[in-house]
Structure 1
């Protein structure tokens, strides 16, 4: 069975702790990954080469790998460098995610994509617009995701705090594998992705970022109490 066949109609759990938080440790990421698989996750999304290498030894499901970096001269964070992509493949990634927007970064998105494909794995373009998705598919990306919608200057506010269904539906009309990602943070929202063009859905913060989940509950209580 191919990776995309495993992902079809599946749930991908993103095991990315809050940066520098108390759960931002390799052993905890591995435990998160194992727990997600035990709960039924069909695949995982793992950040960082060291994390990915450790998780690869612990699970059998497909892994989407990425590396996040914070640069002073670019807002792009996801798999910025060609070498990062190659390191992820070496660590065992079945799919490498990269920023598929047209924003400037040290290594052009097209070059990162080519490096992923040359390494023999599937490339996932984390996109923000319809044009991003079309460009990624034309370049050979095997998966296009709505990941960046609402998180770029061009798309700020898309989805009004919820998923960008308009973009998801537009992607569903294209000839590619579509990953719903970005603010699918309840079971109902995750399920709704498949009625709006998704082939798979990724859920992250609502499952693996305890600080965020706690904050949602705390905020709701404070609003109720006035």
Structure 2
């Protein structure tokens, strides 16, 4: 598929267009508008959560490169990014070009294995997968199983990396050195500025995913609000 030509995509920006559950920004048409604005201004693709949002963007932007996922939680497992076969199939059917899945070493709901899911996605759907990983070892394993893309999405968000903070810049060079050239390496998580995105590419990433810093209206406003409130409290305490 032309949209997945790594040579043409390399060095590009993918915008993660997502919103929290309770946010008014989560409406499918709002998500689609933000996705279109991102693509019009130079993004090479978008990363979307839920079949509903994937479908809305596919209808509005039929030529867009869409990385799709579905966040769902189940008892007994901390895996939440497209955790089961049902979610993989639904994301693909909604119009994603690449399906992002948790590819860490954690146990999955229903006892499904990563190996079985990757195999089934390839054989039954022909769906390219993006492995959201938290370590070099898990990235290499995902590629060996057949994942076409490897992203540092879950670095700092798993039990094994809870003491680490994204972006996962230290993972990029060893992954790029050991991954097959045909496997796309994506830096995702914690990229908060254009210079940081450039740095990630310089360190070996083929593509950079940026979300909160561009489309995270809720979280960005909350951060500004907290900072200003803290300043008001400091001023009040100093004048007391």
Task: Note whether the superposition's TM-score is higher than 0.5.
Answer: yes
Question: Any stretches of 5+ residues in structure 1 without a counterpart?
Answer: none
Q: Cα 1:53–1:183, aligned 2, differ >3 Å: closer, same or farther? A: same
Contact 2:153 2:189 in 1 (8 A): yes
Q: Cα 1:164–1:186, aligned 2, differ >3 Å: closer, same or farther? A: same
What whole-Å deviation, never above 9, does each CA across 1:8-37 have from its counterpart, x for those lacking one? Answer: 211000111112212111111111111111
In the alignment, which residue of structure 2 is the partner of 1:189? 196
Q: Cα 1:220–1:187, aligned 2, differ >3 Å: closer, same or farther? A: farther
Cα distance between partner residues in 2 of 1:130 and 1:112: 20
In the alignment, which residue of structure 1 is the partner of 2:175? 171
In the alignment, which residue of structure 1 is the partner of 2:114? 109
Q: How far 1:99 moved relative to its partner?
A: 0.2
Cα distance between partner residues in 2 of 1:197 and 1:19: 34
Relative to structure 2, which stretch is displaced further, 19-28 or 139-148? 19-28
Contact 1:85 1:115 in 2 (8 A): no
Structure 1 residue 142 corresponds to structure 2 residue 174: no
TM-score of the aligned structures, taking structure 1 as reference length: 0.93
**1:62-211 correspondence to structure 2 within 5 Å:** 62-106=65-109, 107-118=112-123, 119-159=125-165, 162-174=166-178, 175=180, 176-211=183-218
Q: How far 1:183 moved relative to its partner?
A: 0.5
Q: How far 1:223 moved relative to its partner?
A: 4.5
Structure 1 residue 5 corresponds to structure 2 residue 10: no
Question: Any stretches of 5+ residues in structure 2 without a counterpart?
Answer: 235-240
TM-score of the aligned structures, taking structure 2 as reference length: 0.88
What whole-Å deviation, never above 9, does each CA across 1:24-75 have from its counterpart, x for those lacking one? Answer: 1111111111111122110010111111111111111210011110222111
What whole-Å deviation, never above 9, does each CA across 1:132-173 have from its counterpart, x for those lacking one? Answer: 1111010011110100000011011223xx412111222121
**1:35-50 correspondence to structure 2 within 5 Å:** 35-50=37-52
